[in-house]
Structure 1
Amino acid sequence: MSGNFLTIPGDEPMQRRSRSSSLTNLISAFDTKAQSHTEGQKICAFSGQFDKSIKPTFSREEYGKPIPGSMTEIRGAEAQARVCTEMKELCEIINEYGKTPCKGLLPPELQSATKVISFGELFTIYTVISDKLVGILLRTRKHHLTYFEGEVLFQKRDDDVPVFLLMPIADIRQYCDNKALQARDQSHPCPNNSKSM
């Protein structure tokens, strides 16, 4: 058997040429991907091909962030979306079990508060659901959904500290859902399909 292995009896020369060029393009794309992977392994401290002499360079915006499109970025976005869901659940609990605050006794910055609950009561309710109350509570305060005094609240010591819900629950639901959706959309490999998941 002689001749080019890409030739098929009865093939027109034009078809052979296009088949050959598409195979060449495929091989070229594979080689480029393989070369990129090899270079990436040289700067990854956890790979067997790590090369200490090669120093990765990052811009200010890239520093401390995962490589775009990587599984690390996708897992981080999913974690951020889960945190948004947990923030919403915590606010739902405050809304359900909290009481309407007396507006006349509140300082001006808390006039928008819709519900209030003591940390001790919230801790008792929330520990049945999750053991991450303090972390999620700090996150809700960072997003201006709740307010409480002090840096961190501790069980027993801060049981009487009031925790205020600063927005109506419908607004909080919408805010948290939008944040979760944004987190998933930013790093989802197929952005058009993320809404259907």
Structure 2
Amino acid sequence: MEEVDEEQGTVLSPTPKLKECRSESLETEDSGYSEGDGEGKSQADSKKEPPTEHKEDAARIKRSYSSRNNKATGELDNINKAYKRHGPVNNIKGKWEKWSNQHALTQKLNPFSEEFDHEFAMSRRLHKGDKGYGHPEEGTKTAERAMRAEAHIHREMKDLCFIISTMSKPGKDGKVRVTFGELFDRYVRISDKVVGILLRARKHDMVDFPGEMLWQGRDDHVIITLL
């Protein structure tokens, strides 16, 4: 209802009804939101935002640092794996190249090889009086076989001297003497290289006998002296 101010002659706005005011207040209370609450919430949100940004920045820094460490560790692992994978290959390659060069050199010195180089072989040939002349090259299989053969021959010479010492008693000079015929009949059961071993033993001053060679039947009377 409009009320008229008689003294001023102005028309006042209609007053709100009681029901309308009550309904508006009830709706506000039911929603749980008011103007004061809205302003306080917005201010709280604005205050909470900066710490969130700082946390995000710290997380980014930690992630970047950890990612760099992981990257460096991964690169180091890759290097180690590559070394383990290619290291043995390089060693095998070096050994193969060394063997190949040595084989090529051996073929140049081998007269039965198609790659034999006469001039190169003559330049490497040793002459009488040079170191290593008359002996196989050190470190080769030929030298190894020669050492084994020499040890075997020395054992046979010692065995021969032992057999001679058991066949007769020492003389007045303390030396044992036997005939070649007796020694041949005894030692031929042990080895058929009696003459060869006797010649080798005389070369090493282990026994002594006259003549350059011994023949069965013809030289049975020859005296062999154990030194």
Using the size of structure 1 for normalisation, the TM-score is 0.65
CA distance in 1, matches of 2:149, 2:124: 27
CA distance in 2, matches of 1:33, 1:91: 45
Residues paired across the two proteins, number:
149
Instruction: Note the C-alpha offset of 1:24.
Output: 2.7
Instruction: Note the C-alpha offset of 1:128.
Output: 2.1
The corresponding residue for 2:222 is 161
Structure 1 residue ranges without an equivalent (≥5): 1-8, 104-110, 167-197
- 8 Å CA contact 1:148–1:164 kept in 2: the answer is yes
The corresponding residue for 1:44 is 110
Q: Classify 1:53/1:146 alpha carbon distance in 2 versus 1 (closer, same or farther; 3 Å).
A: closer
| SS of equivalent residue, structure 2 residue 189 | coil
Instruction: Note the C-alpha offset of 1:52.
Output: 3.0
Could you tell me which amino acid in structure 2 is paired with residue 57 of structure 1? R
Instruction: Note the C-alpha offset of 1:150.
Output: 2.0
| SS of equivalent residue, structure 2 residue 192 | coil
Q: Classify 1:40/1:79 alpha carbon distance in 2 versus 1 (closer, same or farther; 3 Å).
A: same
Instruction: Note the C-alpha offset of 1:95.
Output: 1.2
The corresponding residue for 1:172 is none
Could you tell me which amino acid in structure 2 is paired with residue 137 of structure 1? L
Counterpart check, 1:89 vs 2:150: no
Deviations 1:67-121 (A, max 9, x none): 21212111111111111111111112111112322x1xxxxxxx352x2111111
Identity of aligned residues (%): 37
Could you tell me which amino acid in structure 2 is paired with residue 49 of structure 1? E
| Structure with more relative contact order (C-alpha pairs < 8 Å, separation 6 or more) | 1
- 8 Å CA contact 1:99–1:117 kept in 2: the answer is no
Q: Which has the larger radius of gyration?
A: 2
Instruction: Note the C-alpha offset of 1:53.
Output: 4.0
The corresponding residue for 1:69 is 139
The corresponding residue for 1:57 is 124
CA distance in 1, matches of 2:194, 2:83: 62
The corresponding residue for 1:144 is 205
Using the size of structure 2 for normalisation, the TM-score is 0.57
- 8 Å CA contact 1:119–1:162 kept in 2: the answer is yes
More helix by share: 2
Runs of 4+ in 1 over 4 A off after TM superposition: none
